Amino acid sequence: MVNIKPQPGIMKIDLYEGGASELKGQNDVLKLSSNENPFGPSPKAVDAYSISGKALHRYPSTSHDELRRAISRILDLQPENIICGVGSDEIISLLCQTFSGQGDEVIYTEHGFAMYKISALAAGATPVVVKEKNRTTDIKNILNKCNENTKLIFIANPNNPTGTMITLKQVEELAMKIPKQALLVLDGAYAEYVDNYDGGSQIVKNKSNVIMTRTFSKIYGLGGMRVGWGFGPKPVIEALQRVRGPFNLSVPALAVAEAAITDQDYIKRCKEENNATRDWFIASLRKLGLACDNSFTNFVLLRFKNKSQAELCDQYLQSKGVIVRRVDGYNLPEALRITVGDRNTCERLVGVIEEFLVRQE
C-alpha cells in the first residue's frame, strides 16, 4: 500500500488562472486579459533573441553578471544586491521558500496578486489576508495583522488588479513599524508606468528589511521570455541565491532582457503612449457613467453595480471578440480588469461597452 502525500498546504493551493487568450469560434480576438505591452518588446531585444539562437548549445551564465550589471547601470543600483529569476513569480516563490515555513505567517492584501498566497502555501506557511481601504493598501490594517510569526509582507505598488498605489512615505513608515523578523516585499511589476517613482529602490538602499521585485513582463513586453529580478539587502540576496536553480535563466532570456533594459528610449515611448491612452480610456468610461479608480498601471479596473452586470458585460465583450479579465478570484466580482491597448483598441472598446450599456437600458 503506498501512502504518498504532498507537503501540508499544497492541496490548499488553487491553480493559478492566467488571462484567457482564445475565444471558441473567433479568429480575430483582442486579448486584454494579461497586462501585456500592446507594442511588444524593443526591436533591439528581438534582435538579441535571434543572435542568441547561435549559442543554444551552451549553458547560460549562472551568475547573471551581465544582466545584473546592465540593470545596475541603468537604474543606479548595486549588482551584488540583485537576483534574477524566471519572472518575478520566481523571486516571490524563492522569498517564501527561503524566509517562511510551517508556523510562519505571510501577509498580503485583500486584492493582492495571486502568487503571494500560492507561494506561501507551497512553502508550508500560513497566508494572512489584510483588508484594503477603497481598493488601496492600508498600512494600519497590515500592522494590525503583524505578530511574532509574521515573516513576509507582500505589497504590490502599484497593485494588480486595482491599479492603485500608496506613497513612498507610507511604504517607509510600514518598513519602520513591522516586526523585526519580518521582510517587506515591494512588488514593482508596474513601477515603470509611474512618474517619478523608483519602485522603492531608495528605501531598499536605506533599510535592511525591504526587498523590491521587478519584471520584464509588463512595460518591457517580454512576458513570454520569463525574466524578473529582485533588489534587496545583501544578506537577503545571498540567502535567495542559495535556493535559486543555477541555470534558471536561459541563454536567450539573459540576452533579451539585457538588450531590453538598455533601450530606455523605447520604454519611455511605451510609457507615454500607455499613460495618455489609459487616462483617455478612464475619462471615456466615466463619461459613460461607469466607475473606475485612477490607475497607475497599464490596466484599468472597471466596476459595475454588481457581479451579474460585470458578467453580462464580459459575455458581451466576448461576443465581440474582446477578452478581458474577470477578477472574482481577487475578491472583486463586480469588476473587470482591462489591459490598456493602443489608442485604436481603446476607442473600439469604449464603443463596444457603450453598446452594451444601451442594450441594458
Residue 75, exposed/middle/buried by CB under 10 A (0-12, 13-18, 19+)? middle
Q: Which residue has the cell 498566497?
A: 117
The residue (of 127 and 228) whose beta carbon lies closer to ligand PLP is 228
User: Using CB under 6 A as the criterion, which residues of the chain lie in contact with ligand PLP when the complex forms?
Assistant: 35, 87-89, 113, 156, 160, 187, 189, 215, 217, 223, 228
Q: Using CB atoms, what's the residue nearest to ligand PLP?
A: 87
Closer to ligand PLP by CB, 18 or 103: give it.
18
State the Cα–Cα distance between residues 75 and 182, nearest whole angstrom: 26
Supply the minimum distance, in Å, between the C-beta of residue 325 and ligand PLP.
10
In the block, cell 478570484 appears at 329
Residue (219 or 302) nearer to ligand PLP, CB:
219
Q: 111 or 353: whose CB is closer to ligand PLP?
A: 111
Q: Give the torsion sign (CA, 216, 218, 221, 226).
A: positive
In angstroms, what is the minimal distance from the CB of 173 to ligand PLP? 21
Q: What is the spatial distance between Cα 347 and Cα 198, in angstroms, rounded to a whole number?
A: 31
- Nearest CA to 110 among 144, 168, 154? 154
| CB-neighbour burial class of residue 286 (10 A; exposed 0-12, middle 13-18, buried 19+) | exposed
- Closest distance to ligand PLP from the beta carbon of 216 (Å): 7
**Beta carbon of residue 238, minimum distance to ligand PLP (angstroms, whole number):** 22
Q: How far is the CB of 219 from ligand PLP (least distance, A)?
A: 11
Q: For residue 105, what is its C-alpha cell?
A: 505567517
Least distance (Å) between residue 1 CB and ligand PLP: 40
Residue 219 or 349 having the CB closest to ligand PLP: 219
Residues for the chain: how many in total? 361
Closest CB to ligand PLP among residues 60, 223: 223
Closest listed residue to residue 310, CA positions, set 288, 325, 330: 325
* Torsion-angle region of 87 (φ positive above 0: left; ψ -120 to 50: alpha; else: beta): left
**How far apart are CB 84 and ligand PLP at their closest, in Å?**
11
Q: Which is nearer to ligand PLP, 60 or 228 (CB)?
A: 228
